[in-house]
Amino acid sequence: MRKFLIASATALVAALGLASPSMAAGGGDVVLQKGEWSFSGPFGHFDKGAMQRGFQVYREVCAGCHGVEYLAFRNLADLGYNEAEIKAIALEYEVMDGPDEDGEMFMRPARPADLIPSPYRNDNEARANNNGALPPDLSLIAKARANGPDYLYSLLIGYEDAPADVEVPDGMYYNNAYAGHLIAMPQPIYGDDVEYSDGSPTTPEGLAADLTHFLMWAAEPKMEIRKRIGVAAVFFLSIFVIFSYIAKRRVWAELH
């Protein structure tokens, strides 16, 4: 019975994402700053205001180099945008369609059902525009790194002058949250990079936190549903364990 309870608890902890991960995102002497995230813990939820601000930061700061190829415009409804707002956002982009009656591909205004287009046509164009470095797609970046949210937040605010004994090659930058500390991505956030309509702080820390909220949602848009199911499963299994234990005591009472 004890082994069964331990195994069940371990499985539930893993299912809810409560297992303690390693603090090293890339090894070495990297130490991450821990953020206070609304989506942390078994009862965590997404902050729609933070996600909308993060989407604004993505569009105005990150979208020139990084795509979110697994997101469609209609997915933005999860952030609190209504149908008219989503259509207006989509119309700011063009996507390739076709072939037409002449067999030619053509560009047209994007629709809500379209995927958000990448800033580059292919990887070669991306490398050519970034000194040979390939900017990663950000759709799943928050789940592709250990301690994803803390890693992204720390990386965004981790740019600083290199120590005197560290030589930084041309085209590289020093970041205290990146393994090896030398990264090809220039510092993206300086503070006051965007103007929020709700008056929220636009400090580097505020912008980085909002962008992290958006990227966490992009990587796991069904997180809230998963956690609700997980909590319900824990409650159900807890009741099941109690009744199983009572039944076991009654069935084997004479042997005790």
Q: For residue range 138-173, list pLDDT tens digits in order.
A: 999 999 988 999 999 999 999 999 999 999 999 999
- Identify the pLDDT of residue 2: 40
Asked if residue 150 belongs to a domain, the reply is: yes
For residue range 20-63, what is the model confidence (pLDDT) as tens digits?
A: 333 344 445 788 998 889 999 989 999 999 999 999 999 999 99
81 domain residue, yes or no? no
Q: For residue range 103-120, what is the model confidence (pLDDT) as tens digits?
A: 999 999 999 999 999 999
Q: Which of 166, 136, 174, 179 is nearest to 28 (CA)?
A: 179
Report if residue 77 sits inside a domain.
no
Q: Examine the pLDDT at 175 and tell me if it is beyond 70.
A: yes
Range of the domain at 37: 2-71+116-251
pLDDT score of 235 more than 60: yes
Residue 196 inside a domain? The answer is yes
pLDDT the model gives residue 251: 83
In a domain, 7, yes or no: yes
Query: Is the pLDDT confidence value at 201 over 70?
Result: yes
What the block records as the tokens of 102 is 């002449």
DSSP 70: T
Is 80 exceeded by the pLDDT of residue 3?
no
Higher local confidence (pLDDT), 18 or 101: 101
Averaged pLDDT for residues 73-79: 97
What domain count does the chain have?
1
**In the prediction, which pLDDT does 79 show?**
96
* Residue 87 belongs to some domain of the structure: no
Mean per-residue pLDDT of the chain: 87
In a domain, residue 202? The reply is: yes
In a domain, residue 101? The reply is no
The domain that holds 183 is classified in CATH as 1.10.760.10
Could you write out the DSSP letters of every residue in 103-165? S--EEEE--TTSBPPPSSSSHHHHHHTTTT--PPP-SSHHHHSTTHHHHHHHHHT-B-PPPTT
* The overall pTM is greater than 0.85: no
pLDDT of residue 16: 38
